[in-house]
């Protein structure tokens, strides 16, 4: 069964450093998403991406964040200068259309120290 | 934001049906009802979705009331592996995609 793959599973970074989280969405999907979940809190929508541009973003997704689809298979989330409060699980998801379900990856646990 | 109300927790005996309720009294005509679950800290897992008809798949059944103000997710024979947080989400799809706004969900514990 096709699945969304995320790497790495766990990343530790120093405060102020840049991190790139990587995702390989399901191959025939057209819509891509990033979510995050701070420990013990809700899953929060960050951004959606369609047709090589951001289609929607939440208040959380400020100038420190950016997304990119550098080639035909990868989808990345970059955090420019990490803060302690960026520590969270980051989930990538993809869907084939606007009325179809989204499939989530297993997440990258980001720890900022 | 999620416009649903779910009980914070429920228990269910193993092998019995788990019936998880969700109120969405302000749902509009073009909003779908989606159910996801999250086992421990894994990625949310899609279960089922529907608009107004009842739906069934290999995982669960979704019963939506005629006025669409509430729905029930039914896991017909709960197993210990069904212990998870279950999220009911109403969502109108837009050109931008199918973004989901998760609430706090129902924590289901399946008891041996």
CA distances from A38 to A19, A45, A47, A89, B107 (A): 17, 12, 16, 6, 17
The pLDDT value given to residue B100: 86
The pLDDT value given to residue B30: 85
The pLDDT value given to residue A58: 93
As given in the structure block, the two tokens for residue A11 are 């990343």
SS3 A84: helix
* Per-residue pLDDT reduced to its tens digit, B57-108: 999 999 999 999 999 999 999 999 999 999 999 987 777 777 888 889 999 9
Task: Look over chain A and give the mean of its residue pLDDT values, rounded to a whole number.
Answer: 94
Is B96–A103 a contact, with Cβ atoms under 8 angstroms apart?
no
Is A98–B93 a contact, with Cβ atoms under 8 angstroms apart?
yes
Chain A contact set for B45 (CB, 8 A):
104
The pLDDT value given to residue A97: 87
Backbone angles phi, psi at A34, to 5 degrees: -125, 140
SS3 A1: coil
Is A45–B44 a contact, with Cβ atoms under 8 angstroms apart?
no
CA distances from A56 to A45, A46, A49, A59, B98 (A): 10, 8, 7, 10, 10
Q: How many CA atoms lie within 13 A of A47 on its CB side?
A: 21
Q: Does residue B110 have a pLDDT over 90? A: yes
The interface residues of chain A toward chain B in range 15-54, judged by CB-CB distance below 8 A, are: 31, 33, 37, 42-45, 48-50
The pLDDT value given to residue A48: 93
Chain B contact set for A42 (CB, 8 A):
102-104
Q: Does B3 touch chain A (CB under 8 A)?
A: no
* Per-residue pLDDT reduced to its tens digit, B10-47: 999 999 999 999 999 999 888 899 999 999 889 999 99
As given in the structure block, the two tokens for residue B101 are 């706004």
SS3 B9: strand
Search chain B and give the residue with CA nearest A50: B96
The pLDDT value given to residue A18: 98
Q: Which among B94, B99, B103 is the nearest to A33, CB-wise? A: B99
As given in the structure block, the two tokens for residue B13 are 């005996």
- DSSP H or E stretch at residue B110: strand B106-111
Rounded CA gap, A107 and A6, in Å? 6
Give the lowest-confidence range in A86-95, A96-105, B26-35, B92-101: B92-101
Q: Does B52 touch chain A (CB under 8 A)?
A: no
Is B44–A91 a contact, with Cβ atoms under 8 angstroms apart?
yes
Is B43–A104 a contact, with Cβ atoms under 8 angstroms apart?
yes
Rounded CA gap, B71 and A39, in Å? 29
Chain B contact set for A43 (CB, 8 A):
38, 44, 87, 100, 102
The pLDDT value given to residue A75: 96
The pLDDT value given to residue B94: 76
Q: Does residue B2 have a pLDDT over 60? A: no
Distance from CA of B41 to the nearest CA of A (A): 8
The pLDDT value given to residue B29: 84
* Per-residue pLDDT reduced to its tens digit, A39-73: 999 999 999 999 999 999 999 999 999 999 988 78
Rounded CA gap, B37 and A46, in Å? 19
Report the 10 Å Cβ neighbour count for A8. Answer: 12
């Amino acid at each position: 069964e096709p699945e969304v793959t995320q790497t790495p599973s766990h990343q530790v970074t120093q405060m102020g450093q840049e991190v790139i989280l990587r995702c390989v969405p399901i191959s025939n999907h057209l819509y891509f998403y990033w979510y995050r979940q701070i420990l013990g809190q809700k899953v929060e929508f960050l951004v959606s991406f369609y047709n090589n541009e951001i289609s929607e973003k939440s208040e959380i997704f400020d100038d420190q964040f950016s997304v990119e689809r550098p080639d035909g298979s990868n989808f990345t989330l970059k955090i420019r200068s990490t803060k302690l409060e960026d520590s969270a699980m980051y989930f990538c998801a993809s869907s084939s259309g606007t009325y179809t379900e989204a499939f989530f990856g297993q997440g990258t646990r980001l720890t900022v120290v | 934001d999620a416009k649903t109300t779910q009980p914070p927790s429920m228990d269910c005996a193993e092998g019995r049906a788990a019936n998880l309720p969700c109120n969405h009294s302000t749902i509009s005509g073009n909003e779908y009802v989606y159910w996801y679950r999250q086992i421990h800290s894994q990625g949310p897992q899609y279960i089922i979705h529907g608009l107004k008809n009842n739906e069934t798949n290999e995982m669960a059944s979704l019963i939506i009331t005629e006025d669409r103000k509430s729905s029930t997710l039914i896991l017909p024979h709960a197993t210990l592996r069904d212990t998870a947080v279950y999220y009911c989400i109403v969502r109108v799809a837009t050109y931008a995609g199918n973004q989901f706004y998760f609430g706090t969900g129902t924590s289901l514990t399946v008891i041996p």
